């Protein structure tokens, strides 16, 4: 995995194992003129799920906020450099560890940026513990079984639920450069020419970590999917949603329906043209500008 200039790896212990996270600890973000007692608000970035996912997903975005915020960008349990327990990962595993991470690192309600299925899980964490969250900025938050659609009926989920075949799918279709490149080109990015070698290398390094297949296959099987429409009406945290128009997993129409269920909490729903699932990698400069705008809107008194 690749760390931006001035960011270093730290870790903490959750109920499922040690979670690695990245924060600014060196120049150019911290200098001799920076006061050790200077308090900056915390801004947390949570990556989504998929073969080789990690905090790298936000690494082209979060350095832009390091001068004004204490940045925390974790590798979730089972991904990146965090521990990879051999277990059948479930929805509550991630809701619990997201809450534990915020409890251990944040002294006050915190602004959280999250993507895809993790963003949907973060909504559930904010419903369970609204005291931990100041605002949410989410890219393509979907439970992947929304409004009664059952992801588990998909061909890919059924194949991944077949013993032996599931490991073969991971080794041949995910944990190699060809598989990573194919997924990024066909499922994650709207424009393949925006994919460069560093992105493939970062995803591949994460996908090849020992026991990385456990979390990835839990995602592919549908073990982590749920109907977000049943939960989103309970959200009280001010929220902005950014949705890539060409998202392959869940269409903007589903996003609009989800946002319409709770207009009191969801203050912004923005469709981004010519972008797929991860605008933070495909158009990082645009994503940075929108996050800045949403932070001002959602946190103003």
What distance separates the 2 farthest-apart alpha carbons in the chain?
58
Quick one: which H or E segment has residue 244? strand 239-244
CA distance 132 to 115: 18
User: Number of folded domains in the chain?
Assistant: 1
Beta strands in 15-132 (DSSP E): 17-24, 42-46, 70-74, 110-115
pLDDT in tens, 210-227: 999 999 999 988 899 999
Q: Is residue 2 part of a domain?
A: no
- Tens-digit pLDDT profile for residues 131-149: 999 999 999 999 999 998 8
- C-beta separation of 72 from 42 below 8 A: yes
Round the CA-based radius of gyration of the chain to a whole number and report it. 18
Q: Please, what's the b/e burial string for 117-127 (b: 16 or more CB within 10 A of its CB; e: otherwise)?
A: bbbbbbbbbbb
pLDDT at 37: 46
Evaluate whether residue 204 is within a structural domain: yes
CATH number of the domain where residue 171 is located? 3.40.50.1820
Residue 265 in domain: yes
pLDDT score recorded for residue 51 = 85
Whether pLDDT at 59 is above 80: yes
Please check whether residue 159 lies inside any domain of the structure. yes
Q: Residue 82 sits in which domain range?
A: 7-299
- The answer to whether residue 1 is domain-embedded is no
Distance linking the first and last C-alpha atoms of the chain: 38
Residues 159 and 169 sit within 8 Å (Cβ to Cβ): yes
Q: How far is CA 271 from CA 20, 81, 228, 245, 261, in A?
A: 32, 32, 19, 6, 17
User: Would you say residue 156 has pLDDT above 90?
Assistant: no
| Cα–Cα–Cα angle for 203, 73, 46, rounded to 5 degrees | 75
* Banded pLDDT at 159 (limits 50, 70, 90): low
Residue range 2-23, pLDDT digits in tens:
889 999 999 999 999 999 999 9
Average pLDDT over residues 29-34: 65
**Is residue 108 one of the residues assigned to a domain?**
yes
253 by Cβ neighbours in 10 Å (0-12 / 13-18 / 19+) ranks as: exposed
Do 278 and 183 contact (CB within 8 A), yes or no?
Answer: no
Phi, psi of 127 (to 5 degrees): -70, -40
Average the pLDDT over 245-258 and give the result.
93
In a domain, 116, yes or no: yes
pLDDT, greater one: 70 or 158:
70
């Amino acid at each position: 995995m690749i760390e931006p200039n001035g960011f270093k790896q730290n870790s903490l212990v959750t109920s499922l194992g040690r979670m690695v996270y990245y924060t600014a600890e060196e120049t150019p973000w911290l200098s001799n003129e920076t006061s050790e007692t200077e308090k900056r608000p915390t801004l947390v970035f949570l990556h989504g799920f998929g073969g080789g996912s990690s905090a790298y997903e936000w690494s082209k975005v979060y350095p832009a906020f390091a001068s004004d915020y204490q940045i925390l960008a974790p590798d979730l349990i089972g991904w990146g450099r965090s521990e990879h327990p051999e277990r059948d990962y479930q929805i509550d595993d991630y809701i619990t560890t997201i809450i534990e991470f915020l409890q251990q690192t944040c002294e006050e309600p915190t602004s959280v940026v999250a993507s895809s299925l993790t963003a949907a899980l973060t909504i559930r964490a904010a419903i369970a513990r609204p005291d931990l969250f100041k605002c949410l900025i989410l890219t393509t938050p979907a439970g992947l079984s929304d409004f009664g659609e059952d992801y588990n009926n998909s061909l890919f989920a059924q194949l991944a639920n077949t013993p032996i075949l599931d490991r073969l799918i991971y080794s041949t279709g995910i944990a190699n450069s060809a598989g990573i490149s194919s997924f990024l080109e066909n499922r994650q990015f709207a424009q393949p020419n925006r994919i460069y070698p560093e992105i493939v290398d970062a995803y591949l390094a994460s996908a090849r970590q020992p026991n990385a297949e456990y979390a990835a296959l839990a995602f592919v099987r549908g073990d982590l999917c749920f109907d977000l429409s049943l939960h989103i009406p309970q959200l009280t945290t001010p929220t902005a949603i950014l949705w890539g128009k060409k998202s392959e997993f869940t269409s903007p129409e589903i996003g609009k329906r989800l946002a319409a269920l709770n207009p009191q909490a969801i203050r912004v729903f923005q469709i981004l043209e010519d972008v797929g699932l991860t605008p933070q990698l495909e158009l990082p400069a645009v994503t940075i500008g929108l996050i800045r705008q949403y932070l001002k809107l959602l946190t103003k008194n």
